[in-house]
């Protein structure tokens, strides 16, 4: 059967989040990192069939024109592969700035696809992200009070998504309210049609729970372009199956047993990650990277590497992190600039990953989407298979690396996903070589 869904994710953790939900919905899904340069068949084994391809980009916080260019290149590749529906995946906390990139990328994709209207469905209720009257909540807090107002790159200081999106696009933005969604998919489709007649081409959708997501999935299954978080991706496979676009439920297959030592790299400063770092450090060794020390030369990075080597020789797992609270992030950003502080951390974690994977790390957890994009690109990971779920939105994945016999097991954790014990639990749920 043809590829049903092509997705473009604006960061790497978001891509594995979506791929995970598609696999759990019974789709055979492949994640490709960066705009592919070769046809699918040249990149992965397609003999079991592929229902969905998720392309991970690092386009969330780069300049809007680059995000648009990369997304259009990814779309061209997906169109050449012949996908039925296009999904633009962004964060369940709608991470963006007033310049973009959600608005400009959605506009460019819609224009190229000839889509008169698309929906914005960021909600991911299982992880506490819901939308009501167009306002995004994380748990019981509005988006701008949940910690996201301190994000190092895309601080979210407004919870009203209609207003947030309106600042990023010249397209008219409207709302599909819960009152309509509660009446079912027919009423929702009708409401979208009415909005379209009024010229509203971007529809932010309220969503309180998975029932609402299922209703929305049924209402938009025939749209050429949908946008949102992985929650919508969780519900689309059932719609595709009803239309006969998918084979009966497929077994996503198991990953090979993992091998090699265990390392966690964290560049995420999100609230959940900070608690996970503390929890890990109470049990295992860790080294804190300081962006200002990194700016002074290679010595700090050398210390981190030496620390990791010693600790990994002791059995691991080991944590190397730049994760810091809002005050320390602000301090680093004031001294170095926002961009440079982020780049120094991403470059350091990428260098550490490359050295330590070459020396035998085989189980790697990376926290943070931008961080994961940098690390995974530095490792040269082009394609990933999805395996067991560690927490909602975070699966183990496996990649084949040039010059490495055993596959690398990789988990890319979105900043605010996972319970406090995520970094230790991740290694416990992974099947390792020699385990009974």
Ligand X SMILES: Nc1ncnc2c1ncn2[C@@H]1O[C@H](COP(=O)(O)OP(=O)(O)OP(=O)(O)O)[C@@H](O)[C@H]1O
List residues near ligand X by CB under 6 A. 11, 13, 151-153, 267-270, 273, 291, 322-324, 328-329, 332-333, 341-342, 345-346, 368-371, 414-416
Q: Does 397 bind ligand LCNOYBR7 (CB under 6 A)?
A: no
In the bound state with ligand LCNOYBR7, the residue whose beta carbon lies nearer, of 9 and 430, is: 9
Question: What is the nearest approach in angstroms of ligand LCNOYBR7 to the Cβ of residue 245?
Answer: 24
Question: What token pair was written down for 229?
Answer: 């978080």
Shortest spacing between CB 303 and ligand X, in angstroms: 16
Distance between CA atoms of 123 and 50, rounded to whole angstroms? 26
Residue 333 interaction partner, one of ligand X, ligand LCNOYBR7, none, beta carbon < 5-8 Å per kind: ligand X
**Nearest residue to 273 (alpha-carbon basis) of 13, 58, 10, 94:** 13
Residue 92, contacted partner among ligand LCNOYBR7, ligand X, none, CB below 5-8 A by kind: ligand LCNOYBR7
Helix (H) or strand (E) holding 398: strand 394-399
Size of residue set near ligand LCNOYBR7 by CB under 6 A: 13
CB-based contact 230:124 (threshold 8 Å): yes
Which of these segments, 41-49, 86-94, 176-184, 314-322, binds ligand LCNOYBR7 (CB under 6 A)?
86-94
Segment contacting ligand LCNOYBR7 (CB under 6 A): 80-88, 90-98, 198-206, 207-215? 90-98
Q: Give which of 249, 233, 224 is closest to 52, Cα–Cα.
A: 233
Binding of ligand LCNOYBR7 by 346 (CB under 6 A) = no
DSSP sequence for 83-125: -SEEEEE--TT---BTTBSHHHHHHHHHHHHT-S-EEEE--BG
Residue 417: φ, ψ to 5°: -95, 160
E strands in 177-283: 202-205, 225-228, 261-266
Give the one entry of ligand LCNOYBR7, ligand X, none that residue 17 binds, where binding means its C-beta sits below a cut-off of 5 to 8 angstroms depending on kind.
ligand LCNOYBR7
434: left (phi over 0), alpha (psi -120 to 50) or beta: left
369-379 and 338-358 are packed helices; what angle lies between their axes, rounded to 10 degrees? 40
**Nearest approach, Cβ of residue 234 and ligand LCNOYBR7 (Å):** 11
Which helix (DSSP H) or strand (DSSP E) does residue 386 occupy? strand 383-391
Which of 25, 174, 316, 369 lies at the binding interface for ligand LCNOYBR7 (CB under 6 A)? 369
91 touches ligand LCNOYBR7 by CB under 6 A = yes
Kindly tell me which residue out of 265, 414, 418, 423 binds ligand LCNOYBR7, with binding defined by CB under 6 A. Answer: 414
130 contacts which partner out of ligand X, ligand LCNOYBR7, none, CB within 5 to 8 A by kind? none
Rg of the chain taking only CA atoms, in angstroms: 21
Contacting residues toward ligand LCNOYBR7, per CB under 6 A: 11, 13-14, 17, 91-93, 124, 229-230, 369, 393, 414
């Amino acid at each position: 059967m043809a590829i049903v869904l092509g997705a473009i994710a604006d960061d790497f953790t978001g891509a594995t989040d979506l791929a995970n939900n598609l696999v759990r919905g019974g789709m055979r899904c492949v994640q490709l990192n960066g705009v592919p340069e070769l046809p699918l068949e040249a990149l992965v084994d397609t003999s079991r069939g592929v229902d969905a391809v998720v392309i991970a980009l690092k386009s969330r916080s780069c300049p809007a024109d680059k995000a648009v260019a990369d997304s259009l290149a990814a779309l061209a590749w997906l169109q050449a592969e012949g996908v039925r529906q296009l999904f633009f995946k962004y964060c369940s906390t709608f991470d963006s700035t007033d310049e973009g990139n959600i608005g400009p990328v959605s506009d460019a994709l819609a224009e190229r696809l000839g889509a008169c209207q698309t929906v914005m469905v960021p909600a991911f209720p299982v992880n506490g992200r819901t939308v009501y009257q167009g306002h995004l909540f994380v748990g019981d807090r509005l988006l701008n009070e949940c910690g996201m107002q301190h994000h190092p790159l895309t601080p979210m200081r407004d919870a009203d998504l209609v207003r947030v999106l309106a600042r990023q696009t010249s397209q008219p933005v409207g709302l599909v309210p819960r009152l309509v969604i509660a009446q079912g998919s027919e009423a929702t489709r009708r409401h979208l049609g009415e909005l379209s007649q009024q010229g509203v081409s971007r529809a932010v959708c309220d969503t309180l729970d998975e029932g609402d997501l299922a209703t929305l999935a049924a209402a938009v299954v025939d749209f050429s372009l949908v946008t949102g978080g992985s929650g919508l991706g969780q519900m689309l496979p059932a719609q595709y199956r009803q239309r006969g676009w998918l084979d009966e439920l497929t077994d996503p297959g198991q990953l090979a047993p993992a091998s090699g030592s265990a390392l966690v790299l964290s560049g995420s400063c999100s609230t959940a990650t900070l608690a996970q770092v503390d929890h890990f450090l109470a049990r295992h060794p860790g080294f804190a990277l300081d962006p200002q020390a990194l700016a002074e030369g290679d010595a700090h990075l050398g210390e981190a590497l030496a620390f990791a080597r010693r600790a990994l020789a002791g059995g691991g797992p080991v944590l190397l992190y730049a994760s810091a609270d809002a005050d320390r992030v602000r301090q680093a950003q004031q001294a170095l600039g926002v961009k440079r502080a982020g780049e120094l951390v991403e470059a350091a974690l990428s260098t550490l990953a490359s050295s330590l994977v070459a020396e035998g790390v085989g189980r790697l957890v990376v926290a943070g989407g931008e961080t994961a994009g940098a690390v995974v690109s530095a490792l040269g990971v082009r394609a990933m298979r999805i395996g067991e779920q560690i927490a909602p939105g975070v699966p183990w994945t496996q990649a084949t690396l040039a010059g490495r016999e055993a596959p690398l097991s990789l988990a890319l954790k979105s900043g605010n996903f996972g319970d406090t014990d995520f970094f230790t639990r991740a290694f416990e749920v992974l099947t390792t070589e020699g385990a009974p």
